[in-house]
Amino acid sequence: MRSVLLSLASVVFFPALAAANPHCATAGPLVFTSNTPQLPGAPTLAPLTPTSPPASLKGAPFVMHIANAGATITDLGTSDRMRQIAARSGDQFMLFDVTPDGNAAVSGIPIEMTLAQLKTVAAGNITDLGLVHGVEGYFVRSGSMFQVFYATPDNQRVIPGVLWDAAGKNITKAEVANIPGAIPTVEVNGSDGPQAAPAAVLPLVQNATFGTIGNNPAKHLYMLIDPQCIYSIRAFQMLRPFAEQNQIEISVIPLTILDGEDGGQSTKSAMALLSDPPDQIVGAWQSGSEGNRPSEQAQARLKQNMLIAQAIGLKATPTFVWRKADGTEGQLVGVPQNVQAFVDAIGS
């Protein structure tokens, strides 16, 4: 079950489906809770080999697309007029709700809330995104944060998630692109070189509790993560070899932003990591060995990290912050698309 919770918000094991700089977005304002904790080990990405979906699903272009990307498909039947499938690659899997026309799917799990109830709860903060592939999308804002929901065709449940089409396009991103604040304004250029981050971010993150890997102070990268965020795990897997060779130095700052999706596991994992000595935090996250009980200091450390994340306006994990060669600050939200170019842009 842990793997399900880990992967609900991601398509990282399907590169053909992944959006630019994929990340785990916060579902609402950053709030620290004192739930207590566990973290999976960094998953191994399986090689992409085309698979054959069940015969009942071969007429759905979306299903064929992810099967061709190497996923093993399981037909979970029909619910609320949408076909539900599980897509597995290696030790990772996630759930999709395929649209009535078979040409798209929502990555996520329907929740026990009708569309009418959502409209009541989010009154004044909900925007109708229109009907696409037979499902209606709704942009719901909570303070500076947001979540996109898709109503099932019978309007009896809503699905918080991302809508993907059979070509691997992130439809949700296109739908919300014109809504102010919906798309992070901190981006990288085509070669993954950074743009300036908000002022005075580095002094804040440097005061967080973190673990460090690598020894290269001139190319020091701060990485804010949710331990359960598959994109954080993927990004670390990509960057770890550079740190192990001391080409960069990475300080990993544990946060919790996915409790609403993983039943509190994010807070448990973060507190477990923050109970370790700093020189053991990265190793514990890497190996998934956070069975230790939270220390007396863990809650205060996590609270401090969360306050720092709130102060810098963090909206997703992983978020990277570093000093550029010209002395300004750089920032990247999400998984780097060109890792070598990204590493080259850090420090002097």
The DSSP annotation for 125-143 comes to SEEEEEEETTEEEEEEEET
> Tokens 């990282």 identify what position?
12
What was the pLDDT predicted at 281?
Answer: 94
To the nearest 10 degrees (0 to 180), the angle between helices 265-273 and 278-287 is 140
Highest-confidence range of 5-14, 169-178, 243-252, by mean pLDDT?
243-252
Tokens standing for residue 55: 């015969």
The DSSP annotation for 173-240 comes to HHHHTTSTTSS-S----TT---EEPSTTHHHHHTTS--EEES--GGGEEEEEE-TT-HHHHHHHHHHH
pLDDT at 251 over 90: yes
Taking the chain, what is the end-to-end CA distance rounded to the nearest angstrom? 44
d(CA 194, CA 322): 9
Q: What is the pLDDT of residues 62-109, one digit of tens each?
A: 998 888 877 789 999 998 989 999 888 666 677 899 999 999 999 888
What was the pLDDT predicted at 100?
Answer: 94
pLDDT at 243 over 60: yes
pLDDT at 324 over 70: yes
pTM of the model as a whole? 0.51
What was the pLDDT predicted at 21?
Answer: 62
CB count in 10 Å sphere of residue 58? 13
What was the pLDDT predicted at 164?
Answer: 86
Contacts of 315 (CB under 8 A, 6+ apart): 25, 26, 144, 145, 184, 333
Q: Which of these ranges, 12-21, 230-239, 312-321, has the smallest mean pLDDT?
A: 12-21
Tokens standing for residue 62: 């979306």
pLDDT at 173 over 60: yes
- Cα 162 from chain centroid? 11
What was the pLDDT predicted at 174?
Answer: 80
CA nearest neighbour of 316 among 224, 178, 214:
224
CA nearest neighbour of 140 among 165, 163, 115, 171:
115
Highest-confidence range of 131-135, 142-146, 169-173, by mean pLDDT?
131-135
> Tokens 């499938």 identify what position?
85
pLDDT at 37 over 50: no
Sign of CA dihedral 12, 17, 20, 23: negative
Structure confidence at residue 146 as a pLDDT band (50, 70, 90): confident
What was the pLDDT predicted at 5?
Answer: 27
What was the pLDDT predicted at 217?
Answer: 94
CB count in 10 Å sphere of residue 239? 25
Cα–Cα–Cα angle for 89, 94, 96, rounded to 5 degrees: 120
Does residue 44 or residue 347 have the better pLDDT? Answer: 347
Q: Is 201:329 a contact under the CB 8 Å cutoff?
A: yes
Does residue 116 or residue 265 have the better pLDDT? Answer: 116
To the nearest 10 degrees (0 to 180), the angle between helices 265-273 and 298-311 is 110
